Structure 1
Amino acid sequence: MKRTHILLSFLLVASGLLLTACDRELLETIPNDRLSESLFWKTENDARLAANSLYTDLDSTNLISWDAMTDIAHTNQPFDVQAYVELGQYDATSSKVFGEWAKAYKGVRACNYFLENVDKVVTTNSALINQFKGEAKALRAYQYLKLASLFGDVPLVTTAISLDDSRALTRTPIAQVWDFVDKELSDAAGLLPTTYAAADKGRITKGAAIGLRARANLLAGRYQQAADAADQVMKLGIYGLNDSYEKLFSYAAENNKEVLLDRQFIKDTYPVNTFNLLGPYSQKSAQSTYVPTKALADMYETTAGKLITDPSSGYDPANPYANRDPRLRFSNFLTGDPLPSGITFRPEPNSGTADAVGNTYIASTTGFNIKKYVNAEDYANPANNGINIILLRYAEILLIYAEAKIELNQLDASVLTAINTVRNGRTDVKQPSISSTATQAELRTIVRRERAVELAFEGVRLFDIRRWKIAETVIPGPVYGITYKAANGALTTVEVVAVNRTFDKSRHYLWPIPQKERNLTPTLSQNPGW
């Protein structure tokens, strides 16, 4: 069930309670585009509306764009803002850099304003007000998690500061930001319920707050805290894998037991544009904006549980996508797949179809298309979708737990259980279990690959390759796509024309602080190399 009344309330209050955001004044004091305090913050319903509005600052399809700045996906549109980051052609003036900074601080500012004013509401239901405070704390921590991951040291602002104060901000050391995120999520979990009634589905729960705490500590390299938080989620006993991976990103599976946190949408009222964004060019107005790469496809094992480079894997170069981990086909449109319109996907350059590589810049330049969130129900109106975007799910919790334990060298049976549950705990994914004789180094490689294939196009890869310090290895070079049989019978691999990615390890592991902000706040230092 969709949270219809909550989503509608987003639209009612967004213009009044949220920063509409002059570029120059992201962190300034209460703006005059908010509702008057003489009229608002009076009733319990005011508090609810204000809390609801905070969810509009959660990420949605921009998660997919983050993967398109890594090795597993490619920004198909040459002038899309992600393309410049993907190619290493960005700096402190780039719109993508400023856009992510501005969006996150917009969310921070809204949460700060909420927390400073919600106690003005007159109500006898203190438990509800505390719940709303827990939501605001968790959502504020969500934004700082992202800011720290992208920029490192960032201003840690927890109050609605004055304009003058905002001009004297300095960057807080990242360790202190992670401390704040960890405590904020811990405090939030103590204020939030484990579950909600159906009408409130989509609100952040205790499990979501603890799950975000697990993610934050993993990103911070605080492995014991990450393992402990993931274990807390597991012991809540209310989450599990959705029975079908193939259906996980469909309307039928919304609000299933695997989802800890999502961004909820409703057709017509509060829509999202996933079908047009991701679908193959032949599907009405679909744009193939972000497309998978050969690097990702090659990470999926064969059904024998072996990499395609293993001579005993059963891999057939002439039929490269047969007998592979089912998640390959569940996550990616592959040659021969049926499409929502009823036609067959034929992206080979010599196929003569609308989807053929090279037919138009809108057709996938790799010959792969993302399948997650592209649902046949949306074909009739491809710009008006209502699918929820998953921000955190139980499979990630299992992989956080496994990775943290591996890094701690705590190689007990629970590590294998967590990994193997992801590999074969669904009715339609049955990859062979990992052997109990695997070493720490082998398990590290396995869990990193599992994160890539299980969580593809869910916005985690960018942060993974940065924290593992492998971006300098996996990003540089050409982008490759499908392997197909050319007219002369030779097996040929698509190479994306005029794309050669670069990654400068001396500066690209952190984004630059946006120049717009530094022009207004000279006390903000810059990251090395920028």
Structure 2
Amino acid sequence: MKITYIITLFSTVLLTSCKDYLDIVPDNVATIDNAFTNRNEAEKFLFTCYSYLPQESYIYENPALLGGDELWTYWPITGLSRLPTFPQEIARGNQGIVDPYLNYWDGQQSGKPLFRALRDCNIFLENVDQVVDLDPFMRDRWIGEVQFLKAYYHFYLMRMYGAIPIVDRNIPISASKEEVRVSRNSIDEVANYIVDLLDSAAAKLPDQIQNRATELGHITKPIALSIKAKVLVTVASPLFNGNNDYTGLANKDGTNLFSRGFDLQKWERALLACKEAIAACEKANIHLYRFSSALVTVNDRIRKEMDIRNSVCEPWNEEVIWGFTNGTGSGIQLQSMPRLNSAYPGNESTFGQIAPTLGMAESFYTRNGLPIQEDKTWDYAGRFMLKVAEAGELDYLQQGYTTAALHFEREPRFYASMAFDGSLWYMENGTWPVQAKSGQAQSRKSAFGYSITGYFPKKLVNWKFVIQSGQAISQEQYPWPVIRLADLYLLYAEASNEVNGPGEETSKYLNMVRERAGIPTLQDSWRDFARNPSTIFSKDGLRDVIRQERLVELAFEGHRFWDLRRWKLAAEELNKPIYGWDVEQEDAGNYYRRKLLYNQRFTSPRDYLWPIREYSLVVNPNLVQNPGW
């Protein structure tokens, strides 16, 4: 049954503006009665539906940035640091049922009220036909956009909570108490409902944005089909496909909320959706990004780094499938980058505070395109020893500078994604050395505003970001890539491996991602340099390889947090200690000692899904709680 949600009579709708190209600020607060009297009023309500989109680049709202093991901060958090506590509480295993952190079910603790979003989407769909001056083409397109938003909000909730109530239409005010007390639909029902909505939306949406001056940020057909692929890969993954931990989870009437047993057809369906999405992207001329600025002259090494960095940070570049416009101002860029220019030390309070972990530094490949423990030419046992950068390392490291052996002979994505003591940071206004030991330019200067691990997520900073005097900055914002083509290519490789196993079809798009990253093909790397070259010829071995490729390619973009959950690997990975360098030290010998920052806690199966707030279960006794809570 498709469950509904209640509207409060005479309620008003808050019209929250969408930034940048969706920046439509209403003159006043509109009621439902006049929201659809003309095109302009209806468009305001359309942007209200957009306004609930979780701001993925905002570290306060997105649990995937600071709630896992990719990025870390110092603790405890002080108000002056402008860092959130809720995501770190999740990373530390402190989620609870009384007032859950990042509660997107009820819209509390920095979570947005996504069930209210679904109500407003339904209001729009039920009333848009009343708009007298809206031409049929635009009406269909707007309906497609809101159908997509409705599907995405369901997906966002499903990914967090698992089985959820489907909000197909709004319950009238005359509904009985029992009609209002909804139950959760099964995972398969929710997934099928989302996919049906996305198919319906895709049929109404344009292949690409024609008027880029006014419409960037609106939903297109490639966006709808790519999210459909992500939805189906998610429900085909181990968390939702054959997970015995949820066998007993059922509604009060005995309806099972999770299917029993593994179903290969879910992977087959996901693979077809990936193919369909890639075809739509090709038709819309979406392809892997290449740096081509004619304004600067750079060598091949820097050009490769900019291929990688700007696939994320170049505004509206050709790789971005869905860019979220409300999102990458000074906030995450300031939090990611230290003050590079020592001529302007200024106030250090909010610079370079979100720090990649030492575990992430170890996750990137060697220059031969292999995990560091797998490359037979790379000294894994000696990775924490000290080493001096010679002339041959000049493009990556500061010549004559002593740093850890871990930082030598790594792949281009390592140097493009992370900065560290002894590294070089290329920007449009120059190449800056990073020196982070105590007393040096990029070290800790106060009680806050520093990297707790000694690493900085360079990948998240646009190359045109310039620090000036005091707190002054000059920056270029970019739309946060909710999904980009490399992500879709790797979803395809993952689904193809589950259906077909190793082979040309599975490695095709994987090798395209690797080639853009500046490393050998999968086959060449494992044949020529691997300790265990047979790994890529088994489905299980290649599965691990594809998973690490996603970690490396999509590092710090908020994917690993959800990937570890859907793969059912969070209990393994998020119970490992978090390490950094000893950043309080002045000399290299003491600085490059692994320092334990926290022993993470992830309780399985409890922490794979968010808890429903305890009070919500009291108000609606038909809801059942997730396992372990």
TM-score w.r.t. the length of structure 2 is 0.73
Any conservation in 2 of the 1:241–1:258 contact (CA below 8 Å)? yes
Aligned AA for 1:134?
A: G
Q: Distance in 1 between matches of 2:590 and 2:164?
A: 53
Q: Distance in 1 between matches of 2:455 and 2:286?
A: 32
Q: CA deviation at 1:156?
A: 1.4
Aligned AA for 1:44?
A: R
The aligned runs of 1:345-360 (5 Å cut-off) are 345-348=434-437, 351-353=438-440, 355-356=442-443, 360=447
Q: Distance in 1 between matches of 2:370 and 2:50?
A: 42
Match of 2:491, SS state, is helix
Q: Which residue of 2 aligns with 1:21?
A: none
Q: 1:95 to 1:387 in 2, by over 3 A?
A: farther
Q: Which residue of 1 aligns with 2:595?
A: 495
Q: 1:355 to 1:115 in 2, by over 3 A?
A: same
Q: Distance in 2 between matches of 1:37 and 1:72?
A: 44
CA deviation map 1:237-282 (0-9, x unaligned): 22211111122233xx211221111111499xxx562223333377
* Aligned counterpart for 2:67 among listed residues 58, 66, 69: 69
Q: Distance in 2 between matches of 1:525 and 1:140?
A: 23
Q: CA deviation at 1:521?
A: 2.5
Aligned CA RMSD, in angstroms, stands at: 3.0
Q: Distance in 2 between matches of 1:44 and 1:419?
A: 45
* Aligned counterpart for 2:221 among listed residues 193, 202, 206: 206
* Aligned counterpart for 1:447 among listed residues 541, 546, 549: 546
Q: Which residue of 2 aligns with 1:409?
A: 500
Q: 1:354 to 1:430 in 2, by over 3 A?
A: closer
Any conservation in 2 of the 1:47–1:129 contact (CA below 8 Å)? no
Q: Distance in 1 between matches of 2:484 and 2:414?
A: 19
Q: Distance in 2 between matches of 1:53 and 1:327?
A: 38
- Is 1:86 matched up with 2:86? no
Match of 1:148, SS state, is helix
Q: Which moved more, 1:69-78 or 1:115-124?
A: 69-78
Q: 1:181 to 1:62 in 2, by over 3 A?
A: farther
The aligned runs of 1:19-98 (5 Å cut-off) are 35-60=30-55, 61-62=57-58, 65-79=63-77, 80-98=85-103
Q: CA deviation at 1:520?
A: 3.0
CA deviation map 1:68-95 (0-9, x unaligned): 2223222445341111111111111345
Aligned length: 497
TM-score w.r.t. the length of structure 1 is 0.85
- Is 1:290 matched up with 2:354? yes
- Is 1:127 matched up with 2:137? yes
Q: 1:124 to 1:47 in 2, by over 3 A?
A: closer
Q: Which moved more, 1:114-123 or 1:328-337?
A: 328-337
- Greater relative contact order, per chain length (Cα 8 Å cut-off, separation 6+): 1
* Aligned counterpart for 2:146 among listed residues 111, 136, 144: 136
Any conservation in 2 of the 1:260–1:394 contact (CA below 8 Å)? yes
Q: Which residue of 2 aligns with 1:275?
A: 333
Q: 1:464 to 1:353 in 2, by over 3 A?
A: same
* Aligned counterpart for 1:466 among listed residues 536, 547, 565: 565
* Aligned counterpart for 1:151 among listed residues 136, 158, 161: 161
Q: Distance in 2 between matches of 1:44 and 1:488?
A: 65
Q: Distance in 2 between matches of 1:475 and 1:420?
A: 29
The aligned runs of 1:83-482 (5 Å cut-off) are 83-99=88-104, 102=107, 103=112, 104-123=114-133, 125-162=135-172, 167-197=180-210, 198=212, 199-221=214-236, 222-236=266-280, 237=282, 238-243=285-290, 244-250=307-313, 253-265=314-326, 273-280=331-338, 284-310=348-374, 312-315=376-379, 317=383, 318=386, 319-335=405-421, 336-338=423-425, 344-348=433-437, 351-353=438-440, 355-356=442-443, 360-375=447-462, 376-377=464-465, 379-380=467-468, 381=472, 386-424=477-515, 426=516, 429-435=517-523, 438-482=537-581
What's the % identity of the aligned pairs? 25
Q: Which 5+ residue runs of structure 2 have no aligned equivalent? A: 1-17, 78-84, 237-265, 291-306, 340-344, 387-404, 525-535
Any conservation in 2 of the 1:357–1:367 contact (CA below 8 Å)? no
Q: CA deviation at 1:205?
A: 0.5
Q: Which 5+ residue runs of structure 1 have no aligned equivalent? A: 17-34
Q: 1:379 to 1:357 in 2, by over 3 A?
A: closer
Any conservation in 2 of the 1:6–1:52 contact (CA below 8 Å)? no
Q: CA deviation at 1:364?
A: 1.4
Match of 2:97, SS state, is coil
CA deviation map 1:443-491 (0-9, x unaligned): 1111100111111122211211111111111111421124899748368
Q: 1:72 to 1:274 in 2, by over 3 A?
A: closer
Aligned AA for 2:234?
A: L
Q: 1:289 to 1:457 in 2, by over 3 A?
A: same
Q: CA deviation at 1:496?
A: 4.3
Q: CA deviation at 1:385?
A: 6.5
Q: 1:171 to 1:266 in 2, by over 3 A?
A: closer
Q: Distance in 1 between matches of 2:352 and 2:64?
A: 15
Q: Distance in 2 between matches of 1:410 and 1:100?
A: 38
